[in-house]
Amino acid sequence: MKADQYADGDATSSARVFAFPLWRRADEVGRAARALAALGDLDARDAYRHRLAARFFAEFDRLGLPEAEQDEEVGAFFYEVEFALEDLFGDALRDVTTGIV
């Protein structure tokens, strides 16, 4: 008997629904990275992050996502934003650290 069948032979199926697929939010990741890069001080960047996170949490709450999954999805979004920031500033940082322009 397969692991995905009940004792009476009925097959079960399960699937994970991605309420927040990052591949569909690539533009939003880029916009967030550019907005954070344009903000002048740490307090402004923190306030922007909090507003963005609050918007996502409200969206996920309306969808009925459990809190743990909400945290995971929002964390994954900001993880991608950090990569986008590295892409924006990677060359500039490399020039500063190596001294080669």
3-state secondary structure the chain: CCCCECCCCCECCCCCCCCCCHHHHHHHHHHHHHHHHHCCCHHHHHHHHHHHHHHHHHHHHHHCCCHHHHHHHHHHHHHHHHHHHHHHHHHHHHHHHHCCC
Assigned domain for 84 exists: yes
Assigned domain for 14 exists: no
Assigned domain for 36 exists: yes
Assigned domain for 4 exists: no
Assigned domain for 7 exists: no
Express each pLDDT in 22-79 by its tens digit: 767 889 999 999 999 999 888 999 999 999 999 999 999 999 999 999 999 999 999 9
Q: How many domains does the chain have?
A: 1
* Higher pLDDT, residue 94 or 87: 87
Q: State the pLDDT at residue 5.
A: 47
Assigned domain for 88 exists: yes
Assigned domain for 72 exists: yes
Residue 89 binned pLDDT confidence (cut-offs 50, 70, 90) = confident
Distance (Å, whole) CA 29 – CA 89: 15
Domain that holds residue 55: 25-98
- In this structure, are residues 57 and 74 in contact, taking their beta carbons and an 8 Å threshold? yes
The structure tokens listed for 84 are: 């986008």
Assigned domain for 6 exists: no
